[in-house]
Amino acid sequence: MYIDPQWRILTVGDGDLSFSNALFRHHAPQHLTATIYDSLNTLQSKYGDDFHQQLLNCHCQVLTEFDITNPETWSTVAKHSFDLVIFQFPLVPGFTSKSEFNEKCAGIGINTLNRRLLRQFLINASEQLLDPTGPQLCYITSKDVKPYSEWNIQHSLILNTDINYLGEMNFDIVNFPGYRVRNVDRDKHVKDTKGITYVWSQRAGNQLTQALSAQLTQPPILGDDCCHYCQAGPFTSDQHKQAHENSRKHLRMKDFEQQWLADLQTA
């Protein structure tokens, strides 16, 4: 993950605040505001208060009950005051009951709910949090395992927006000593699988700094002989293509994409 020490950074939904603490201590950005979705009481009961106190002692702003999908929770954040907004391993919270599941997933699936969350993050951060005179960067770090790998992060989130997908870079947790990836609902340490940081901006790729550009891998260009749902191919024959399209993985990904496109039309 490339961090410029001159950047003003906001972290979103940082569970136990261990990422923000590691970011501040080992990368020393010009300014850091750390946010969590939980209340202070919930933070203390789930994870303890150590990282919160360490950030406060370093004069970092820490905001609780911050919901990236709800600007009404941002009362103490100045608009257009950041260069980079980071969302680490986002995932919608689990449901506490069957009735809550039925209410929130009516007509859609959890895959679409997660994509909604990430799309709202990108739009709200770009329109309201990022300084239009700065690099205007959004980072989402995710995993290469289910369900994260089924969200089509690179291609599906910014349809019908003026936000550009710029590429991806490896996320190495070793560069953030003390960071513990947490489960979204429990005081558990999540297994360190391979992390990938995806990068977006309202600026075009050719406006990136050379240092950031050097870190990014561009997505492959898929032709007509490839599957755009699964990012697979090119296929060597019609039989090869047909076998893929009949596979369980393809049918699952096709269903996710169709649900997502239908949801965008009704948004």
**Predicted confidence (pLDDT) at residue 185 exceeds the cutoff of 60:** no
What's the whole-number average pLDDT of the chain? 90
**Beta carbons within 8 Å of 190's beta carbon, 6+ residues apart:** 89, 181, 182, 183
Host H or E run for residue 9: strand 8-12
Please report which helix (H) or strand (E) contains residue 198, including its range: strand 195-201
Mean pLDDT of 11-28: 95
Confidence of residue 90 (pLDDT cuts 50, 70, 90): very high
- In the chain, which ranges are continuous DSSP H helix? 18-27, 40-47, 50-57, 98-104, 110-124, 153-156, 210-213, 238-245, 248-266
pLDDT at 219: 78
Q: For position 213, what pLDDT does the model report?
A: 93
Residue 58 or residue 190, greater confidence: 58
pLDDT at position 83 over 70 = yes
Q: How confident is the model at residue 193 (pLDDT cuts 50, 70, 90)?
A: low
C-alpha 224/C-alpha 232 separation (Å) is: 11
Q: What is the pTM of this model?
A: 0.92
Q: pLDDT value at position 145?
A: 86
Please give the pLDDT value at position 159.
93
pLDDT recorded at residue 146 = 87
pLDDT value of position 95: 63
Instruction: Say yes or no to pLDDT of 97 above 80.
Output: no
